[in-house]
A = this chain, B = another copy of it.
Amino acid sequence: MKSEDVILGIINENSRTGYEIVEVFKTIFSHFFDGSYGSVYPALHKLEQQGMVTKQTVVQEGKPNKFVYSITAQGKEQFKNYLKTSLQPEKVKSDFLMRMYFGEYLTKEEIQDIISHEIRHKEALLEQLNSNYDHWHSKMSRLQQVCYQIGIARYQSELQVLKENGIIE
């Protein structure tokens, strides 16, 4: 799975601008995918060149012009191809867990700081997922709901471990 596949999937649901795609990444996909402007815009240009998407210019007042991208038949085909490729293993890169692993080289205060920070951070992420879920779940497919439930369950279980074991005496 690469950015291009995902972008195609998003545009397949709805015509969108690069800016909007990044918004989707940062909100809806936040717990299982990352993507920024530096990856989205070049991908969009490439997809356009390949005939997977078409660009439409929308002139706006008081706001900069924008380019709305729509998927083509070829793009739909390409997206279906992605869905048929074999599943790539999940990748987690956690600097936090790395510091836990090497925690003996830190002072108690430093560790406590890192853990407290992580708890607050994960609580915020959980809250964001929860409110997203509450707001959109009636418009989500069954599987999209499961996707969210998994994110929520992960954050909750991690928070539980941290709150039960993360206090250094």
- The interface of chain A, by Cβ under 8 A from chain B, is 1, 6, 9, 12, 28-29, 31-34, 79-80, 83, 87-106, 110-111, 114, 117-118, 121, 141-147, 149-151, 153-154, 156-158, 160-162, 165-166, 168
Question: Could you say which residues of chain B place their CB within 8 Å of the CB of A157?
Answer: 153-154, 156-157
Q: How many copies of this chain?
A: 2
Q: Is the CB of A165 within 8 A of B141?
A: no
Q: Is the CB of B105 within 8 A of A83?
A: yes
Q: With contacts A9-B102, A93-B32, A98-B33 known, is A117 near B160, CB below 8 A? A: no
Closest 6 pairs (CB-CB, A-B): A103-B143, A157-B157, A32-B97, A32-B94, A153-B157, A88-B95
In the bound assembly, the distance between CA atoms of A99 and B79 in angstroms comes to 11
**CB-contact partner of A92 in B12, B31, B105, B117, under 8 A:** B31
Question: Could you say which residues of chain B place their CB within 8 Å of the CB of A147?
Answer: 97, 100-101
